[in-house]
Amino acid sequence: MPVLKRAGAPDLYYELDDYTDPWRDAPCIVLQHGFGRSSKFWYRFVPYLARWFKVLRPDLRGFGRSATPELGNGLSFETLYDDLEALIDAVGVRSAHFCGESFGGILGMLFAAQRPQRVRTLNLISARVYLNDESKARYRAGHGSWEEALKQLGASGWANLKNKTDRFAPDTDPGLMEWFAREQGRSDVAAMIAVQKLAETINTTEYLSRIEAPVLTIYPSEGPITTPEQEALLRQHVKCLTLVHLPSRYHNLHITQAAACAKHVLYFAAQHEGMPCHEA
């Protein structure tokens, strides 16, 4: 089981999917999961990417099979940056392509701005710039705050509620929705609250102009979280931006339209590597 062990820091679990030619020094791409999720949620992406890229799928500290740290002092983005750098070092690369969905994309924007030498391209799937008031209201789910909703509903109850609002269309395969809620329901609520405190307050606008890597953003065409106002901020501040819309009113494109998302990411990263990404 691939686990990164460090003195004075929690163990970090990761998967490394590599079906590249063994004689070739293939580039690496990090797939970073979103809020309350784990590396398992990328399973539909792997077949499209792993033939050409070494695919690193980490579990954030406190989630999936990574250790849950002492959270008495909360959690900081700086700590998460250090975790990412340690994981990239662990697989033996200096810089990697980065693909993050939702909160994973928020982390990617900040990481690319703060540690530009580690990010080759930045790929964002349904990753918002800031949390709008409409989304804040949904996250509270009728409770006094998002934190209170997590405490009262638990990870599973909150996941089920979210599945029925902005994550999935009504005609989504029920089995997929049940699996998604069950897997998210395994998350530690204290860890979810620690990340929620970061996600609720961060506005990445001031960081966007500091991103040096080429950026691909994949947004739903009518998403409730990633709004036209946020797209305008990306266009205004990001130096090298490609913005793609996929037809949807729902958030979870990395699951519901995995093939389309993965192919966009594959071609974008391969283009900037100057390498082919198809068999002859």
In tens, the pLDDT along 127-151 reads 999 999 999 999 999 999 999 999 9
Q: Please tell me the pTM assigned to this model.
A: 0.97
Q: Above pLDDT 90, what percent of the chain?
A: 94
Which of 156, 147, 151 minimizes the C-alpha distance to 177?
156
DSSP letter for 163, please.
I
DSSP letter for 17, please.
E
Measured distance CA(234)–CA(147) in Å, rounded? 28
The contacts of residue 33 (CB under 8 Å, 6+ apart) are 39, 41, 42, 57, 59, 60, 63, 64, 100, 101, 104
The residue type at 189: V
DSSP letter for 93, please.
-
pLDDT (tens digit per residue) in 268-279? 999 999 999 888
Residue with tokens 């990001």: 238
CATH topology of domain 3-131+205-273: Rossmann fold (3.40.50)
- Asked if residue 63 lies in contact with residue 188, where contact means CB atoms within 8 angstroms, the answer is yes
